[in-house]
Amino acid sequence: MAKITVRKETGTLLFDFNYRGARCREQTTLKDTKTNRRKMEKVLERIEQEIVAGTFDYARFFPGSNRASQFESSAPVSASVVQGTVANNVVVPPSVVAPVVVERTTLTFVEFTAIWLRENGAIWRNNTLRAAKVQVNGYLLPRFGSKQLHQILKADCLAFRADIAAPGGSIKNRTLSAKTVNEIMQVLGAILAEGADRYEFPNPMQNVKRLKAPKVHIDPMSFDEVEKFISAVRPDYKQYFIVRFFTGLRTGEVHGLQWKYIDFERREILVRETYSHLGKEYTKNDGSQREVHMSEPVYQALKAQHTASAHLSEYVFCTRIGTPIDPLNVNKRIWKPTLKLLGMKDRRFYQTRHTAATLWLASGEAPEWIAKQMGHTSTEMLFKVYSRYVPNLTRQDGSAFERLLLQRMGGNIQ
């Protein structure tokens, strides 16, 4: 009796039937789901009907099967012959249905991407969603929009990567960095991975590797430079930069800081929200939800800031009308001009965070404590990014080994 079974090794469905006295089993790539079983049952029914009618062509249903050549020499029995045998009460050997080739259809890339963005928009941060939409609308839809998901091949993905990585490959005819190319490909990979899982086709991005991006080196300030900067910066931003240099808060975390998250009694800053031009939102991740210790300079700076602005806004650092300050404005009008005034090298605004980490490490604070203050879930990032700025924690000059040799061998090495 013809039936549909599942191959345990792969979890995929196959047809199991008898045809002209031989047992035939034909494998498919379809997973064992109710939907796929219904599809195959319909095909199986059609095959059985053709077998009974004597019109079944094995090669037509299973063109790549070895069985197709086996039955090729014997032509299908005509309907009249079958009718004659039935009329003469001749038992016709039960026909076996081979695995049917089911034509695959999936949503187009543009259709599925709209669903993907809507579903993930419920859990993503605003900045993450915005960045994904820029990459989708600027790069992915123009290239893949009209294609059905399963029609996108690995060769298509590699060709796309080569095109956007080429000189002038951006939507503004500029050359994209390897980091940006990888970010675009990451979005493409996420869309195709989800589509492959839902519609059960091979993921064409599965083994597509990331471009090698040059390592970005940090450039923190020394303690002397921090002191000079704080002394020279505009007075109304002195407290702001003391908090940035000595807490390691991210830009969005500083600008999203509210008075309800300042615990003067316990001397803690509760990092709970961030702020950007898109508004308030959750922190970068769960690990970023943390309590940051106030050192004495930070405590005094926040006390002074409370006197200056607590009556204006719920935000610690705000404009004269009580709105959160704009990081781009601070970068352009305060940060860069002060660096230039002092003759210091130009640095990214984010270096204030790196400065806090290196100062903590250089002072000998425990790496586990520093990682917690920074919002890292482990110390791996500290040793990976900041180790060269920690001479008294990892000297890297051989002195520790030299002391061990002198202690154990007394310097008498023959």
Q: Which residue has the higher pLDDT, 132 or 378?
A: 132
Res. 227: pLDDT tops 90 = yes
CA 145, CA 151: separation in Å to the nearest integer?
11
The string of pLDDT tens digits covering residues 98-114 is: 444 445 578 899 999 99
Q: What is the largest CA-CA distance in the chain?
A: 110
**What tokens appear for 316 in the block?**
């610690």
The answer to whether the CB of 271 falls within 8 A of the CB of 289 is yes
What pLDDT is stored for residue 399 in this prediction? 57
In the chain, CATH 1.10.443.10 covers 223-389
Burial of 23 (0-12, 13-18, 19+ CB in 10 A): exposed
- Which of 13-17, 82-86, 233-237, 402-406 is the most confident on average? 233-237
What pLDDT is stored for residue 29 in this prediction? 82
Give the torsion through C-alpha atoms of 348, 350, 352, 354, to 10 deg: -110
**What tokens appear for 285 in the block?**
């991740």
What pLDDT is stored for residue 18 in this prediction? 78
Q: What is the enclosing helix (H) or strand (E) of 105?
A: none
Q: Which residue has the higher pLDDT, 234 or 46?
A: 234
Band (pLDDT 50/70/90 cuts) for residue 209 is very high
Mean pLDDT, the chain, rounded, equals 84
Burial of 155 (0-12, 13-18, 19+ CB in 10 A): exposed
One-letter amino acid at 365 equals E
Mean pLDDT of 47-64: 82
The answer to whether the CB of 56 falls within 8 A of the CB of 95 is yes
Share of the chain above pLDDT 70, in %: 86
Res. 263: pLDDT tops 80 = yes
What pLDDT is stored for residue 75 in this prediction? 46
What pLDDT is stored for residue 14 in this prediction? 87
Question: Which CATH architecture group holds 223-389?
Answer: Orthogonal Bundle (1.10)
In the chain, CATH 1.10.150 covers 109-199
Class of the CATH-defined domain 109-199: mainly alpha
Res. 246: pLDDT tops 60 = yes
Q: Report helix, strand and coil shares of the chain as percent, to nearest 5.
A: 50, 10, 40
What pLDDT is stored for residue 400 in this prediction? 58
The string of pLDDT tens digits covering residues 304-339 is: 999 999 999 999 999 999 999 999 999 999 999 999
What pLDDT is stored for residue 411 in this prediction? 47
Mean pLDDT of 373-379: 89
Res. 358: pLDDT tops 60 = yes
Band (pLDDT 50/70/90 cuts) for residue 163 is very high
Res. 158: pLDDT tops 80 = yes
What pLDDT is stored for residue 166 in this prediction? 95
Res. 147: pLDDT tops 90 = yes
Q: Got the DSSP string for 272-340?
A: -EEEETTEEEE-SSGGG-EEEE--HHHHHHHHHHHHHHTTT-SBSSB-TTSPBPPHHHHIIIIIHHHHH
Q: Which residues contact 94 (CB under 8 A, 6 or more apart)?
A: 1, 2, 18
* Closest-CA residue to 17 (of 44, 53, 49, 55): 44
Band (pLDDT 50/70/90 cuts) for residue 276 is confident
Q: Which residue has the higher pLDDT, 190 or 361?
A: 190
- The secondary structure of residue 268, as a DSSP letter, is E
**What tokens appear for 62 in the block?**
């299973």
Phi, psi for 406 (deg, rounded to 5): -65, -40
The string of pLDDT tens digits covering residues 67-96 is: 777 777 554 444 333 333 333 333 333 333
What pLDDT is stored for residue 403 in this prediction? 64
